[in-house]
Structure 1
Amino acid sequence: PVIQLSIDYSKPAEFHYRLANQLQALRHKGVLIIGSGNIVHNLRLVDFQNFHKDNYGFDWAVEAHDTINGYLLHGDYQPLLDYDRQGKAFDLAIPTPDHYLPLLYVLGLQQKGEAVSLFNDKMVAGSLSMTSIKIA
């Protein structure tokens, strides 16, 4: 069975992260939990003419992407919870939280001793990042 959870966008980022902490017990029961979204996701600024370019991102998108990846790989999640206070690059990369908040659920499910690894980590069309995260 697959169950989809709704995200309450009226709640702050910290709420979503803490809710995921409470869902950790499901992992011990063998439940696989997947968050689906895009970390850098600004459809209004997609460069369709350069969609075919490999790993192509605007300066602000690359800045947000690299900064977020650094926080992820170093386990420094507080700035990710405070994403709306990180400056212009983050504001452009995350204009709405709908594609970003699933990341916070995945991070909230991480348990001590588990490492974060990144894959599919490329920029697309200037303003999108399809970066995927595995916690194991």
Structure 2
Amino acid sequence: MNTRMPTIFLGHGNPMNALHVNAWTQGWAALGQRLPQRPRAVLAVSAHWYLPGTAVTAMAAPRTIHDFGGFPRELFEVQYPAPGDPSLVRRVRELLQPLDVRADLAWGLDHGTWSVLRHVFPAADVPVVQLSIDETQPPAFHYELGRRLRPLRNEDVLLLGSGNVVHNLHAYAWGRHPVEPFDWAQRFEATARELMLRGDHPALVDYEALGPDAELAIPTPEHYLPLLYVIGASEPGEPVTFPVEGMDGGSISMLSVQFG
């Protein structure tokens, strides 16, 4: 009998983490090494595929997307040539019925996915499929999709969310030396951690009701919503751990969350 895969949310932060060796990237690498078994595929939900509708990457060889600007040439030269997985595409569409899930042949793997996976699976030899985030739907919709995708964990598929629990670029200390985290960022991250440990999923879904700290921590939802897929895919009473921690630029949480 196969061991159930954990489901993991990674705070990906600055795209330059794709090139850096630091406490965060070393933590991602350690996560890959500690998995109970090698996954047959990864289903990734990235903050950076945020559009109307739900889609999955359905190509045999998804391209590496450099969806950013103003970074060194070296970062644009990174390739992550993981194959796709047609059987996983079919299974995702089946699990999410009757939702119309479009088979996409144009997108690929954006930096929310490859910047972390190149540390988790550096050989790029585990097939990867990306699932888009429907920007027209409320948080409860995304949590429910995660719940419906939960069976994949018993099918050797690693369900991976990539975003940031706290993500406020307006307050980010660009190009400066390390700075102390903002009080509101620390408070919201601590609140989210406590709610996950308590299993209070409704409060995490209805995050806008958590007050002014939530408004500052999540000014736009796309980096938070991947967490809801992972929470939805968790099992009741399952162990919750935080294998990677820290705050970047004062306003970006690098927290990783693992269920199972």
TM-score in same-fold range (> 0.5)? yes
Q: Which one of the candidate residues 133, 153, 159 is aligned to 1:27?
A: 153
* Alpha carbons 2:245, 2:255 under 8 Å: kept: yes
Contact (CA 8 Å) 1:42, 1:93: kept in 2 or not?
yes
Name the residue aligned to 1:11: 137
Write the distance in 1 (CA, Å) between the matches of 2:204 and 2:177.
Answer: 27
Correspondence 1:42 to 2:168:
yes
Give the alignment partner of residue 108 of structure 1, picking from 226, 232, 236. Answer: 232
Gaps in structure 1 of 5+ consecutive residues: none
Deviates more, 1:98-107 or 1:41-50: 41-50
SS in 2 for 1:3: strand
Deviation at 1:47, TM superposition (A): 2.0
Matched, 1:130 2:260: no
Deviation at residue 121 of structure 1 after TM alignment:
1.6
> What is the CA deviation profile of residues 74-113 of structure 1, one whole-angstrom value per residue up to 9, with x for unaligned ones?
1112111011121111001001111000000000010134
Partner SS for 1:96: coil
- Paired residues in the alignment total 134
CA contact (8 A) 1:38 1:99 kept: yes
Q: Does the 8 A contact of 1:39 with 1:103 survive in 2?
A: yes
Give the TM-score of the pair, scaled to structure 2: 0.49
Structure-2 separation of matches of 1:38 and 1:105 = 13
Summarize deviations over 1:108-130 as a string: whole Å, max 9, x none: 01013421101222122111100
Gaps of 5+ in 2: 1-126
RMSD of aligned Cα (Å):
1.4
- CA separation in 1, counterparts of 2:245 and 2:211? 22
Alignment partner of 1:60 out of 184, 192, 204: 184
Q: Distance in 1 between matches of 2:252 and 2:191?
A: 15
Inter-partner Cα distance in structure 1 for 2:177 and 2:168: 14
Q: In the aligned structure 1, how far is the partner of 2:256 from the partner of 2:182?
A: 19
- Corresponding residue of 2:196: 72
User: C-alpha distance in 2, partners of 1:51/1:74?
Assistant: 35
Q: Deviations over 1:24-73 (max 9, x none)?
A: 111111111100000000011102365424xx311111111111111111
Deviation at 1:23, TM superposition (A): 0.6
Amino acid at match of 2:224: Y
Instruction: Measure, in 2, the Cα distance between the counterparts of 1:61 and 1:22.
Output: 31
The answer (yes or no) to whether the contact 2:245–2:254 under 8 Å persists in 1 is yes
Structure number having the greater strand percentage: 2
Relative CO higher for 1 or 2, CA cutoff 8 Å, sep ≥ 6? 1
Q: Is the 8 A contact 1:122 1:130 kept in 2?
A: yes
Normalising by the residue count of structure 1, what TM-score does the alignment of the two structures yield?
0.92
